[in-house]
Amino acid sequence: MGALDGKTIIVTGASSGFGEAIAIACCRAGANVSLVARRRELLETVAETARSLNGGGSGQAMVCPADVSDDDQIHAVVERTRATFGPVDVLVNNAGYNVTERSIADTSAEQWRDLLAVNLTSAFVFTKAVLPEMKERGDGLIINLASRAAMYPSLLAGVGYSSSKIGMEALNIVTNEEGNPQGVRACLFNPGAGNTPIMERRPVVPGPEQKARMIQSEDIAAAVVFLASLPPRVHIDVLSMMPTKS
Domain boundaries, the chain: 8-241
Q: What is the pLDDT of residue 115?
A: 96
C-alpha torsion 170→174→175→179, nearest 10? 160
Residue 197 vs residues 32, 104, 109: alpha-carbon distances, Å: 26, 23, 24
Q: For residue 55, what pLDDT band results from cuts at 50, 70 and 90? A: low
Q: What is the pLDDT of residue 169?
A: 96
Query: In the predicted model, what is the mean pLDDT of the chain?
Result: 93
Enter the DSSP assignment of 194: B
Query: Which residues are the active-site residues?
Result: 161
22-59 burial code (b ≥16 CB/10 A, e <16): bbbbbbbbbbbbbbbbbeeebbeebbeebbeebeebeb
User: Does domain 8-241 bear CATH number 3.40.630.30?
Assistant: no
The answer to whether 157 and 149 are in contact (CB under 8 A) is yes
pLDDT (tens digit, 9 = 90+) per residue, 118-151?
999 999 999 999 999 999 999 999 999 999 888 9
Q: For residue 209, what pLDDT band results from cuts at 50, 70 and 90? A: confident
Residue 171's SS3 state is: helix
By percentage, how much of the chain surpasses pLDDT 70? 96
Q: What is the pLDDT of residue 53?
A: 82
